[in-house]
Structure 1
Amino acid sequence: MFRPLVRRAAAASVALVPLLLLAGCGISTGERAVGADATEPAVPPALTEVEPLADPRDWEGEVVVAPDDAVDPIAEAPEQQLPVTLTDTQGTEVTVTDASRVLALDVHGTLARTVAELGLADTLVGRDVSTRAEGLRDLPLVTQEGHDLSAETILGLDPTLLITDTSLGPWDVVLQVRDAGIPVVVLEPDRGLDNVASLVRDVAEALGVPEEGAQLAERTRTEIDEVRAQIEAVAPADDGQRLRMVFLYVRGQSGVYYMFGEGSGADSLIEAIGGYDVAEEIGWNGMKPLTDEGLVAAQPDLVLMMSGGLTSAGGVEGLLERLPALAETPAGRNRRFVAMDDGAVLGFGPGTAAVLDALAVATYAPDAVS
């Protein structure tokens, strides 16, 4: 059902080039090699179409993967039932009278993707840097230097509604938009498998399409359940045989190294792809700076990362040089890393099933790429 786009890098490579420029082919046993054409991604079969490894630890080398970003609207230009008055996550009462020019902005690009999946892509007038779903990439950017919001750019687009959360800033920009008389709906920034459906419904409510929101939430949940069942069929049934996984957040140029634990969203991601969440075992809660002691205690078999973070550290070799304790873990010794685009991997929106499917292919059938 889902066809992930996998880009592979050589296990001995000193650095990864940006995800959009990396493609993989020329696979050899136990090693990922960059092919001659490094501009087009290889498209592997879906998880249900591959032969998983007999032992999920029986591979080496990093795999950088991107999910299918095709948008499949639940409806075509649904009629918006406006005005609507709602109370957002900050307790602010907001009345939306016009949702014909919408900005939906967050650090993952999930909110804009949700608007498009509701059948209202034509209402979007701009995007954040993480919004790269099919059909949305040509929208004007309203973020500068990464994820910084630009008040001038936002107001220049003359939006009639801003849907956002607290993951982007400066927050003064959001307040400036509100002071300009534009309705601002602030949604919950925390993401995980347990609130995918509620996020969809909240976006739909703000847009005046609650019925379509309920339908999209149900479809998304069904797709996630289907993929999780497929993953359970290939993942080891015994917890002791499951891959010990951790999620690292890295910005090598800034010297930022965090391990994400319980309640970060990464824990539910690891569980969903059939891994053993080491963070729970060692009592690692939330998002905390990485320590040698934490790595030694974790002893991960596989490390999940954002591809931008892996690139910033100089690829796997660069990361292991920066983190010698990581090099002494099973994941480090085998260069066993799975990375995904920063905006997608913890987005937990309508594309979640595709994310899980892509990560599962990378984890259990990494040589299934032609």
Structure 2
Amino acid sequence: MNFQFNKNRKLNLLAATLFVLSLGACNTGSQPKAESLPDSTKIVSLNGAISEVLAGIGLDKNIVGTDVTSNYPENLKSKPKVGHNRNINAEGILALQPNLIIAAKKDITPAISAQFKAAGVKLLLLDQEFSADGTKKIIHTLADSLHLQAKGDSLAKILDTDLAAVKPVTKKTKVLFIYARGAGTMMVGGTGTQVETAIKLAGGQNAVTEFADYKPLTAEALVKANPDVILLFDSGLQSLGGIPGVVKIQGVKETNAGKNKRIISMDGELLGSFGPRLGIAIQELATKLN
């Protein structure tokens, strides 16, 4: 596996020189040094994790626009926003006159890709896997593609250190994640979600295993799952009126979580983006579960 990973990195490095040189040729008409990205490169990032990696390898100054999920580090909040990465509008992005657009492959349709190509803008698409290895892969792939592999290696080492510092839950703990946007919109997280992966990394168990992805919350499903802890995003908890509002949801009082008022929340972008702060997110989640 390591051999294959190293082989892929070598291929990335080979492609990176050509990629950076092509950017420089488009921007300046002359051949730049391949050791770094040309200062004139203007980037639009369409993914929160990607934006964090770009900032982590020192390219936040090159970012001229982001999607609405890109809010860390703090200086990204002031960048022009081009909408949500699941609803991309090519015209709004091209209006920022970028010469490099970076996104997760799953978020860009062939039609949108064709629009960027027709406009002569470079498009770098990355596979995004919601796991610790997936986060390291996106760091290395992005840094290598932009010929900043040393900075990518440093960022990945920080992630490894953060993950190694996690003190996972030792007691069997069933966790139910509820995605909420007010009492009228509440969904339960099943298997295969980012949050389930985070729960497992923290040593917990997903309380729901009967279905994949998300389904509307019902009192029957809640009682059947009988979670020890109910987890929400901070925004979701606030939309329900805090812990008192969650306890009032039908079925909650019948669960172990409701009886013991074990209801916790975390920043949604921190917990769900699987960016360079993944280790910090899992540390916080494990601490709250403990």
How far apart are residue 113 of structure 1 and its match? 0.5
Out of 235, 256, 269, the residue aligned to residue 185 of structure 2 is 256
> For residues 96 and 299 of structure 1, do their structure 2 counterparts lie closer, same or farther at Cα, with a shift above 3 Å needed?
farther
Asked whether 1:82 is paired with 2:17, we answer yes
Out of 200, 210, 219, the residue aligned to residue 149 of structure 2 is 210
CA distance in 1, matches of 2:97, 2:199: 41
Deviations 1:117-165 (A, max 9, x none): 1122221111222222133222222227x97444343212211111112
CA distance in 2, matches of 1:156, 1:105: 15
- Aligned-residue RMSD, C-alpha: 3.0
Mind listing any 5+ residue stretches in structure 1 that lack a counterpart? Answer: 1-79, 86-94, 365-370
- The percentage of aligned residue pairs carrying the same residue is 28
Question: Residue in 2 aligned with 1:342?
Answer: 268
Stretches of 4+ aligned residues off by more than 4 angstroms: 166-175
Question: Residue in 2 aligned with 1:45?
Answer: none
Question: Residue in 2 aligned with 1:140?
Answer: 80
Deviations 1:243-289 (A, max 9, x none): 22122212226x3332223321222211222323323xx43433333
Which is helix-richer, 1 or 2? 2
Q: How many residue pairs were aligned?
A: 260
CA distance in 2, matches of 1:336, 1:153: 43
Out of 108, 126, 131, the residue aligned to residue 187 of structure 1 is 126
Q: Retained in 2: the 8 A contact 1:193–1:269?
A: no
Q: Retained in 2: the 8 A contact 1:83–1:208?
A: no
Mind listing any 5+ residue stretches in structure 2 that lack a counterpart? Answer: 1-14, 25-36
Asked whether 1:104 is paired with 2:45, we answer yes
How far apart are residue 350 of structure 1 and its match? 0.8
Question: Residue in 2 aligned with 1:315?
Answer: 242
Asked whether 1:274 is paired with 2:215, we answer no
CA distance in 2, matches of 1:170, 1:318: 39
**SS at 2:45's partner residue?**
strand
CA distance in 1, matches of 2:283, 2:220: 32
Q: Retained in 2: the 8 A contact 1:196–1:348?
A: yes
Q: TM-score, normalised by structure 1?
A: 0.62
> For residues 339 and 169 of structure 1, do their structure 2 counterparts lie closer, same or farther at Cα, with a shift above 3 Å needed?
farther
Q: TM-score, normalised by structure 2?
A: 0.77
Out of 57, 78, 91, the residue aligned to residue 118 of structure 1 is 57
Greater RCO, 1 or 2 (C-alpha within 8 Å, sep 6+): 1
CA distance in 2, matches of 1:96, 1:316: 54
> For residues 118 and 346 of structure 1, do their structure 2 counterparts lie closer, same or farther at Cα, with a shift above 3 Å needed?
same
How far apart are residue 211 of structure 1 and its match? 3.8
Q: Retained in 2: the 8 A contact 1:129–1:143?
A: yes
